[in-house]
Amino acid sequence: MCGIAGYVGRAPLDRERIDAALGLMRHRGPDDRTARTFQTADGRHVALLHARLTIIDFDERSNQPYRVGGTWLSYNGELYNYVEVRKGLEAHGETFATTSDTEVLLRQLVRHGFEGLDGCEGMWAFATYDESSGVVALCRDRFGEKPLYLLRDGDGGLYFGSEVKLLAALSGRPLKPDREHLRRYLVNGYKALYKTRATFFEGVEELRPGIVLELGSGGERERRYWDAAPPDERAEMSYDEAVAGTRERLIRSVELRLRADTPLAFCMSGGIDSLSLIAIAKRVFDYDVHGFTIVNSDERYEEQDMVDHAVAQLQVRHTAIPVDTDRFLPRLRELVHRHDAPLYTITYYAHWLLMQSIHEHGYRVSISGTAADELYSGYYDHHLAYLRDVHPDAELFERSVANWREHIAPIVRNPYLQDPFYLVEDPARREHVYLDAGEFSAMLTRPFTEPFTEADLAGDRLLRNRMLNELFHESVPVILHEDDLNAMSFSIENRSPFLDRDLYEWACSVPTRHLVQRGMAKAVLRDAMRGIVPDKILDNRRKVGFNAPVLDFLDVDDPAVQAELGADSPVWELVRRDAVHELLTQEWLPNSKSKFLFNFLCVKLFLEEHGT
């Protein structure tokens, strides 16, 4: 894991700008920072910048930009199966000068071109420069785990980097906030942010996952090296086969992601996602696991009993981190500055504290359970989509509704999701996603309306389509964005074993009828982990996740806080003062309004830095 940045264009890049960008990359790569500049035969200028966080092969011989022949690589990420890819290359006569995955990736690209990525399992955002052709190529991994931002200038030049602030440093000009995207965030929340190519700055976009962008003398060429279209469900697959295939592939994915020349930490909750990874590491590979948990004081989201049980049963080291609400606004301002964006949810304020603790304990790598819900159906609205999909099977439907009423109805909070026929009657209903959007629109100085949309990724399979939209366009891109920025703030690489191509393709082939059993979400994953994860964890139906009301963090009776919130600010060009004042005077806020107030705070802090 590292940081990259660079430029391709007609004008040379000032050394002062290069040095400024390298300085801003220090947290992403504390071990080495280097830049290389080139000029192509047709007169274009190229710069490749790299900041290194050493994870595999600590020797300086693996510093970047790295060269094989006439091809250079600046690379952020990890090639998890570099051992196997290296053996394949050695069979073709390749010899190696390092033990790093960096050299393996570059030699794979030089020998096989971008088709060679088909044999690579990992996460990456990288830039290559071919001296003979003058072509710069930018590439991002299949699921978008590693970020890569782009900014074009008016003369045909392109700046790129792991963070937005690097684009501003390299271009030498301030970036202008995209107020329409801010309004989208305020009204529709985080699930709306990755349905368009927009970011929080005008003219800045992200390279899409699974894409190679080639920049040569003839212009740009974008092509997809991986098709994310899911395989068809295998109707003949038995439940036992689905379970066995999941178990095998998840164990292999964890095995690959334990590879490092430094110890790994584990993000730990009381749920099956993180505990599946921890239990596999401990019980299958005898890894010395150290788990880190955020302690939530809100009993609606508290799961300490499950964490304590897992620690005792698995015999792992454990560190609990209480949520510190002191200096909330100054800390939030710092986070917004580091992220170059509003925080997407209050969860990532707590996650930042988690990463800080992992760093203080000396770790450079963390493991998290991102995407298990999207692969194996873990959300409450998934259950309603499942009911719609099995509706044609009268016996299965009747049994499933009975299970839902007994096990799920008592614990669902979202009012729209308390009706088991919500999606059976109208599969297009999505009011539960943009909850209270009309009310939030009225709180703006100019109303904002953008109806919910989703891509058609799975035809008439409603549950599968929802899961895939969340994986590629809604929840997972948000999680990956925040995970990267929070982790890299403390020079930590975050790995997500559920984002494994083989596991993804297998999970997509599992028939819908298997995904919920006995009213239990993620049934296939739960049963795949029998004998590895403690039964008490697997049999717990409650979906928790970290959440907290913003008023638990914000003392609105504090005169200093009142002065901060009421001060003149560019945010009042977007949001009505009276609407915010009304929220702040209420003793209690429903969850959706608490989220709006948090979003407002983040937009306020963001515009105070970038909005003048």
- What is Dmax (Cα atoms) for the chain? 72
Please enumerate, as own/partner, the contacts of 157-161 that have beta carbons within 8 Å and a separation of 24 or more: 157/7, 157/8, 157/9, 157/10, 157/11, 158/7, 158/8, 158/9, 158/215, 159/5, 159/6, 159/7, 160/4, 160/5, 160/6, 160/7, 160/127, 160/207, 161/3, 161/4, 161/5, 161/6, 161/21, 161/49
Residue 508 among the catalytic residues:
no
Q: Is 101 annotated among the ligand-binding residues?
A: yes
Token duo for residue 211: 């894409």
Which among 473, 373, 483, 468 has a CA at the least distance from the CA of 123?
483
Distance CA 361, CA 355 (A): 10
Distance CA 553, CA 594 (A): 11
Helices (H), 289-436: 304-314, 328-339, 347-360, 372-376, 380-389, 394-407, 422-425
- 365-367 β-sheet, strand order: 317-322, 290-295, 264-267, 365-367, 493-495
Distance CA 489, CA 542 (A): 32
CB half-sphere exposure, 287, CA atoms < 13 A: 25
The H or E element spanning position 81 is none
Distance CA 82, CA 325 (A): 42
Question: Which residues neighbour 510 within 8 Å (Cβ) at sequence distance 6 or greater?
Answer: 233, 234, 237, 242, 245, 246, 524
Whole-Å CA distances, 599 to 180, 248, 374, 475, 532:
14, 41, 24, 16, 40
Q: Is 294 annotated among the ligand-binding residues?
A: yes
Question: Which residues neighbour 412 within 8 Å (Cβ) at sequence distance 6 or greater?
Answer: 380, 418
The single-letter code of the amino acid at 389 is D
Q: Is the peptide bond preceding residue 534 cis, with omega within 30 degrees of 0?
A: no
Exactly one of 2, 139, 508, 602 is catalytic; which is it? Answer: 2
Position of tokens 């900014």? Answer: 151
E-assigned strands of 259-341? 264-267, 290-295, 317-322
Phi, psi dihedral angles at 160 (to 5 degrees): -145, 155
Angle at 258 between CA 309 and CA 66, to 5 degrees: 150
Contact in structure between 579 and 443 (CB atoms under 8 Å): yes
Detail the residues annotated as belonging to a binding site. Answer: 101, 294, 368-369
Catalytic residue positions, numbered: 2
Give the residue numbers of the binding site for ATP. 294, 368-369
